[in-house]
Structure 1
Amino acid sequence: MSTVHLVVVLLTSALNGSAAVANLTGHDLPRRQADKLRVPRSWIRPLGAVLATGSLGLLTGLFVLPAVGMLAAGGLVLYFLGALVAHLRVGDHRLGPWAVFFCLPVTALALNLAHHSPW
């Protein structure tokens, strides 16, 4: 495992883990985002659970089972593609934070595939 791979996966896990905590604890930021994107507030905790699962899956893939890490990174990519749709649906084109949250799991997935690929 390369240092870059380790840093990207740990950073991705930490960032998504902190977002999961914010969602699961009822922090004001996820509520404001949900209102802005016209997402029901009842979805905040389940979405936080998805982020937490992705975060823990990345760590599991790093230290235990690489396939779990690949699936977790892929799941986070899909999650943030859905977030992009939500942003664009309401005409929100301020996508800087979204881009960070999206590019990190894309990079983690690419590095995971490169590192564990049988080819």
Structure 2
Amino acid sequence: MNLAYTIVTVLAALWVGFSALSVFIHAKWVVEPLAEYGVARRWWPWLGAAKAAGSLGLLAGLFVPVIGVLATIGLVLYFTGAVVTVARARSYAHLPFPLLYLAPVVGAFLLGV
């Protein structure tokens, strides 16, 4: 296993896990924009759970590669959906934020290929 892949994967998992935790604890900097984008409050726990599962899947992928690939696919779809949601809300100044979570996930995947 490549050391760079391991480091980037662990960092990506921690970064996405932090994002999930931020949703679960209703951090102001996360939930206010979600409300602004029109994301229903009842979806917030599910969004946090999806990110948490993706984070754990990235870590599990270090030992079972197919799980990492599936987690990567899920997270790419998740954060692509986040970009679309932000764009549809015309909150263009916020577009970089989901991309900041997407980039290390894709980077980890590319290092693992």
Question: Scaled by the length of structure 1, what TM-score is found?
Answer: 0.87
Q: State the partner residue of 1:31.
A: 31
In the alignment, is the contact (CA less than 8 A) between 2:20 and 2:51 conserved in 1? yes
Aligned-pair CA distance for 1:34: 1.0
Provide runs of 4+ in structure 1 moved above 6 Å: none
Distance 2:98 2:25 in 1: 21
Aligned-pair CA distance for 1:97: 2.0
Aligned residues: 112
Q: State the partner residue of 1:117.
A: none
Percent identity, aligned pairs only, is 34
Q: Deviations over 1:73-114 (max 9, x none)?
A: 1110000000011011011212222221111111122222x1
- The secondary structure found in structure 2 opposite 1:91 is coil
Q: State the partner residue of 1:67.
A: 66
Distance 2:7 2:36 in 1: 32
Aligned-pair CA distance for 1:37: 1.0
Q: Deviations over 1:3-24 (max 9, x none)?
A: 2211210111001111111112
In the alignment, is the contact (CA less than 8 A) between 1:58 and 1:68 conserved in 2? yes
Aligned-pair CA distance for 1:28: 2.1
Question: Scaled by the length of structure 2, what TM-score is found?
Answer: 0.91
Distance 1:43 1:31 in 2: 11
Q: State the partner residue of 2:92.
A: 93
Distance 1:41 1:33 in 2: 11
RMSD: 1.2
